Structure formats: C-alpha cells, structure tokens
Amino acid sequence: MVISNWSSVICHAPRRGFTAEDTSAAARFTTHYSLLTTHFLPMHQTFDAALGINLLHANQEGADRNRAHFDEWGITCFNIMSSPGAGKTALLEKTLAALKDNLKIAVIEGDMTTELDADRLRQYDVPVIAINTGRSCHLDSKMVAGGIHQFEHQYNPAEFDLVLVENVGNLVCPAEFEVGEHAKVALLSVTEGEDKPLKYPVMFREADCLLITKIDIAPYLDIDIDTIVANVRQINPNVKIIPVSAKTGEGLENWYEWVKLQANTKTLSPNYH
C-alpha cells in the first residue's frame, strides 16, 4: 500500500491497524519533510524536487516553447495576475473596448471552473480561449500550450499583435509559473490593504507592471495609495505602477499607452532572455 499522506497515518494509526513502529517511522518522516520544505526548499520547489523532479524547470521549458511560438508569430504576450476580485476581467473588458480597433488581440482565459469570465470577454468580438484548471490554483505552461494549440487551429496567429492571458485568481502561485509571457502584469486592489506587497512579495517582485485598482473607493477606506507604492518599491524598485479605476476610467489611458508601447516595440522584461 502506498501512503501519500503520512500525517494521516499518524492520526489514524490505531484505527487502521498500523503498528507503533509504523507510526514512529511516519512521525520521523513527517518531521524531516517539514524541516526540508520549510527551511531548505523555495516555494513550489517541493520535496519532489529533492528527488530530482524539478517541476519549475519542466514548466520553464514549456514556457520557453510557448514564447518561441509567440516570437515566431510576432505576438506580445502578457500574463495578467492578481488575487480573486482585484478586477482582472473588468480591466480586460475596458482594454478590449479601447484597443481592439488598434491592436489585434486574443485572450486566454484561466479559471478553476466555468466560462463566466470568458463569456464576458467574448462580447468584445475577440478570440477567447477558455481553460478550466480544475483544482489547480494557477495556469502553467502546459495548460497554456493547449490554449495556444487551439488558438493556432482556429485562427491565423501571424495576424495578431497581443495575447492577454488572464491567470487564475491567486496572489502567490501564478507568479512562479511562467506560461510564455513577455511581461507579467499584476493587479492589487485598494481593498486588499497596504501590506500585501510585503506579505506576498513574489508576485510584486516578478511584475513588470502593477495596476493599483479600484482607486475610486480609496477615499472610503482606511488606505493610503502612497504607502502601497512605497511598499511595492521596497520589493521591486523598477516596476511600472499605474493606479486605475475601471469604474470611472481614471488612469486607464496610462495603462493603454503602456500596453501599446509593449505591443509595438515588443520590449522584453530583463527576466526574459
């Protein structure tokens, strides 16, 4: 019998008939595993990595292949990331409405279940490829490769300028798994608080552009946008920061200009070589 959850063995040993020796071995394994994952392995470089299975490395190889496809077609790709409810889909709605006549845009839409967000974006008459991740909390390069395959068979990719990948709502994992993007775009809503860049630094460190969203409601909250900016700068001094409101339109022109600059010049982040 294969045991995949040793803590379960410890908790239920008497009921399942495990011996005291079995339980002791499981306890030692759990202690060593905890020490290894807590003190020695980076986030998402799991115990499997210690056994020689580097999941991030395998994902990176897939991301490089995806990016090569985009490069071949002359497409710029953004990975749009945030926690749930920060306003990714609302931002994309505004972006598609404003730029679809100037740029040929397609969307790869990631959600754990449903195509609710994908259906919202399809109203703007652009290709939207929906990916349901099931229980996975982020898109990875293999999932996006499937979306690219579908995109390639339904359309002529060489006719497109920009692919926007809307990742699953999660403030941690999406930043660690590249999908083939040329730039990472992170969103942080004012409702999430000033401390999130310090508490969840990976996404803010990896971002090429940060949108501080829902600024129209900032006056009604105990929040200071300048403090958010200062905290972000501690993590990533060079990130482009654009405060916006999808509701009032404030700041969106600055976002559109940044998008057009990246798409027209294909300016690559220093993270991508």
Say what the pLDDT of residue 56 is. Answer: 85
pLDDT tens digit sequence for 202-253 = 999 999 999 999 999 999 999 999 999 999 999 999 999 999 999 999 999 9
Q: How much is the pLDDT for 265? A: 76
pLDDT confidence bin for 14, thresholds 50/70/90: very low
Tell me the whole-structure pTM to 2 decimals: 0.79
pLDDT band at 23 (very low <50, low <70, confident <90, very high): very low
Q: Which residue has the higher pLDDT, 35 or 183?
A: 183
- Residues 38-73 pLDDT 10s: 444 455 555 555 544 578 889 999 999 999 999 999
φ, ψ (nearest 5 deg) of residue 210: -120, 125
* DSSP collapsed to 3 states, the chain: CCCCCHHHHHHHHHHHCCCHHHHHHHHHHHHHHHHHHHHCCCCCCCHHHHCCCCHHHHHHHHHHHHHHHHHHHCCEEEEEECCCCCCHHHHHHHHHHHHCCCCCEEEEEEECCCCHHHHHHHCCCCCEEEEECCCCCCCCHHHHHHHHHHHHHHCCHHHCCEEEEECCCCCCHHHHCCCCCCEEEEEEEHHHCCCHHHHCHHHHHHCCEEEEECHHHHHHCCCCHHHHHHHHHHHCCCCEEEECCCCCCCCHHHHHHHHHHHHHHCCCCCCCC
Judge whether residue 198 has pLDDT over 80. yes
Q: Which CATH architecture has domain 56-265?
A: 3-Layer(aba) Sandwich (3.40)
Could you give the angle at which helices 20-39 and 6-16 cross, rounded to 10 degrees? 170
Residue range 164-176, pLDDT digits in tens: 999 999 999 999 9
List, for residues 102-153, the tens digit of each pLDDT value. Answer: 999 999 999 999 999 999 999 999 999 999 999 899 999 999 999 999 999 9
pLDDT at 40: 42
* Domain ranges within the chain, ordered by starting residue: 56-265
CA atoms within 13 Å, Cβ hemisphere of 165: 36
